[in-house]
Amino acid sequence: MTIGIGSDHNGFALKQRLRLFLAERGEKVRDFGTFSHEPIDYPDIAVAVAEAVQAGLIQRGILVCGTGLGMAIAANKVPGIFAASVADLYTARLARQSNNAQIITLGANVVSTELACAIVEAWLAAEFRGGRSARKVGKIRAVEGRYRREAAPVLVGA
């Protein structure tokens, strides 16, 4: 399994630590950036990771920004992606077991480095349960399908 990881400048330090944590576990990691503390817009990183999951280039993704919220919102705009913002072990496990989330997002200003590593470990160990959860995930995918269409061009000054 290849895990993609990415952050904005607010999550850079935590991303770096998580990248090392994953490597120490023997995981194959693809780093999507950012590669410094220089300001960067989190949607650029979130969409790159989400598109790599969608294309099958990576199997899971971890995104880090200040709160984890913006990354989740941006990643979830990519069709077929389930990104969950998590801040504890329970929601990390359930993000995978009940929601089949391929991506988790973390807030560098919300969780400690130790908790972030434990969250990642719990999420990676969890497997999708299927059953009633599969029916619910299927309903979410059906809603997404109803709204899927080519994006309208953005008009300057609109």
Kindly tell me the sign of the dihedral angle through the C-alpha atoms of 138, 146, 54, 154: negative
Active site residue 65: yes
User: Pick the catalytic residue: 64, 65, 110, 117?
Assistant: 65
Q: According to the 3-state scheme, what is the secondary structure of the chain?
A: CEEEEEECHHHHHHHHHHHHHHHHCCCEEEECCCCCCCCCCHHHHHHHHHHHHHCCCCCEEEEEECCCHHHHHHHCCCCCCCEEECCCHHHHHHHHHCCCCCEEEEECCCCCHHHHHHHHHHHHHCCCCCCHHHHHHHHHHHHHHHHCCCCCCCCCCC
Catalytic residue ranges: 65
